[in-house]
Amino acid sequence: MTRPRLCITRRLSDATLERAARDYDLVVNHDDTPGSAGDLIAASAEFDAIIPCHSEHFSAEAVAQFSDRLRIVANHSVGVDHCDLPALKERGIAVTNTPDVLSDATAELAMLLMLGAARNAVAGDRIVRTGLWDSWSPAFMVGKQVTGARLGIIGMGRVGRAFAAKARGFNMDIHYYNRTELPEDKAQGATYHESVESLLGVADFLSLHCPATPDTTDLMNRNRFAMLPEGAVIVNTARGALVDEEALLAALETGQISAAGLDCFKVEPGGNPDFAKYDSIFMLPHIGSATRQTRDAMGFRALDNLDAFFSGKTPGDLL
Q: List active site positions.
A: 239, 268, 286
List the alpha helices (DSSP H) in 5-154: 14-23, 37-46, 60-63, 85-90, 103-118, 121-129
- Spatial CA neighbour of 303 closest among 42, 21, 11, 1: 21
Angle at 183 between CA 182 and CA 184, to 5 degrees: 110
CA 214, CA 237: separation in Å to the nearest integer? 18
- Closest by CA to 279, choosing from 143, 137, 170, is 143
140 vs 19: CA distance, rounded Å: 53
Nearest to 304 by CA among 158, 98, 102: 98
Question: Please, are residues 117 and 262 in contact by the beta-carbon 8 Å criterion?
Answer: no
- Nearest Cα neighbor of 300 from 44, 64, 18, 73 is 18
The conformation of residue 206, written as its DSSP 8-state character, comes to E
- Cα–Cα nearest to 281, from 312, 314, 239, 251: 251
Question: How many residues in the chain?
Answer: 319
- Angle, helix 292-310 to helix 103-118, in steps of 10 degrees: 150
98, 317 in Cβ contact below 8 A?
yes
Half-sphere exposure of 310 (CA within 13 A, CB side): 23
CA distances to 1, 180, 264, 296 from 269, rounded to whole Å, are: 41, 33, 9, 23
